[in-house]
């Protein structure tokens, strides 16, 4: 049985990755310092013999006994409200944490995949964004702690690949949504769903004309798994190229929640645009299609409906 270490295992994406690798017959070692992770996300895995959990901050030395075949580094605050509140921790997990895990991968002769992000493109001047685009990032702006941590993460991973011959993969993740996102995550879709379900006004930043491309979590996890097993070491975009405005996304959430049995009294209101908020965001996934034979399958409306059911249940439990 092959062993995989997944950092950020109790988080949104990390927990879904744990599920995927368990289903595929791997032994999974989950690791998380629970800064933004939630043990509820992996509670169903705890009784399993092929799953173990380590409460640990990867910014400190990482030790794992026995063989490790694969390492997936998904530990990091990923929402603006998180990395604005925890800028030092965000920088450390992207730099020191990545360095520690690359050292472990080298010692274990393991293949390592890092979770990079579309944020390496910053506020892009090209749309859609191909992997060859170098980005338009403000390194000293409020979002710089996340953007530059991820850009450094890519740089040191490529250095280990080039200098030490380490077997590495880099996935650039675009906006992803689905069950296990935090209610207070702060990103657009969790905020819209939470506000609409609670009959609060939906807050859209700016005029809502800025665009995003939302990928359902099941599709993303499938793409990451395929990339891990593909012999390609350069960055690959994984996301859904179906681009819509933030205002349109808010309107679709409002329609879905409004047509549910409980309905909603929410309306859309507008607030000032945050500093350095990207005006466009859409992945060029031609490389993923060619290299991985991957493209997203879940339609946005179907994904939104599944996500609504999750948030409705989660909020009902929290508000009781």
C-beta separation of 7 from 58 below 8 A: yes
C-beta separation of 75 from 7 below 8 A: yes
9 Cβ contact list (under 8 Å, min separation 6):
15, 17, 18, 28, 30, 31, 32, 37, 42, 53, 74
Residue for token digits 């309306």?
Answer: 267
Structure tokens at 11: 């988080």
d(CA 209, CA 215): 19
CA distances from 59 to 75, 76, 96, 103, 155 (A): 10, 10, 5, 12, 17
86 Cβ contact list (under 8 Å, min separation 6):
35, 77
C-beta separation of 7 from 73 below 8 A: yes
Catalytic residue among 121, 146, 160, 216: 146
CA distances from 173 to 46, 97, 131, 264, 295 (A): 27, 19, 11, 32, 13
Nearest to 187 by CA among 129, 237, 255, 118: 118
Output phi, psi for 197, to 5 deg: -65, -35
Q: In the annotation, is 160 catalytic?
A: no
Active site residues: 146
């Amino acid at each position: 049985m092959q062993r995989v270490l997944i950092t950020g295992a109790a988080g949104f994406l990390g927990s879904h990755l744990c599920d995927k690798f368990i289903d595929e017959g791997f032994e999974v070692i989950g690791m998380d310092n629970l800064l933004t992770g939630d043990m509820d996300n992996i509670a169903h895995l705890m009784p399993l013999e092929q799953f173990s959990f380590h409460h640990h901050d990867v910014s400190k030395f990482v030790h794992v006994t026995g063989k490790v075949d694969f390492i997936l580094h998904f530990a990091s605050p990923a929402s603006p409200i998180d990395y604005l509140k925890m800028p030092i921790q965000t920088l450390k997990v992207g730099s020191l944490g990545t360095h520690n895990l690359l050292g472990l991968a080298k010692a274990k002769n393991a293949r390592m995949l890092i979770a990079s992000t579309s944020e390496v493109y910053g506020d892009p001047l090209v749309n859609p964004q191909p992997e060859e685009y170098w980005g338009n990032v403000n390194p000293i702006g409020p979002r710089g702690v996340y953007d530059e941590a991820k850009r450094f993460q890519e740089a040191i991973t490529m250095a280990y690949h080039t200098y030490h011959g380490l077997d590495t993969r880099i996935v650039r993740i675009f906006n992803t949504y689905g069950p296990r996102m935090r209610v207070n995550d702060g990103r657009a879709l969790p905020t819209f769903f939470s506000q609409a379900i609670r009959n609060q006004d939906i807050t859209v930043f700016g005029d809502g004309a800025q665009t995003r491309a939302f990928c359902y979590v099941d599709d993303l996890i499938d793409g990451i798994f395929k990339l891990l097993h593909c012999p390609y070491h350069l960055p690959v975009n994984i996301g859904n190229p179906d681009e819509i405005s933030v205002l349109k996304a808010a309107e679709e959430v409002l329609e879905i929640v409004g047509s549910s049995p409980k309905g909603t009294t929410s309306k859309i209101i507008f607030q000032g645009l945050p500093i350095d908020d990207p005006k466009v965001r859409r992945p060029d996934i031609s490389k993923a299609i060619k290299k991985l034979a991957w493209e997203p399958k879940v339609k946005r409306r179907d994904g939104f409906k599944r996500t609504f059911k999750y948030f409705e249940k989660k909020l009902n439990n929290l508000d009781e």
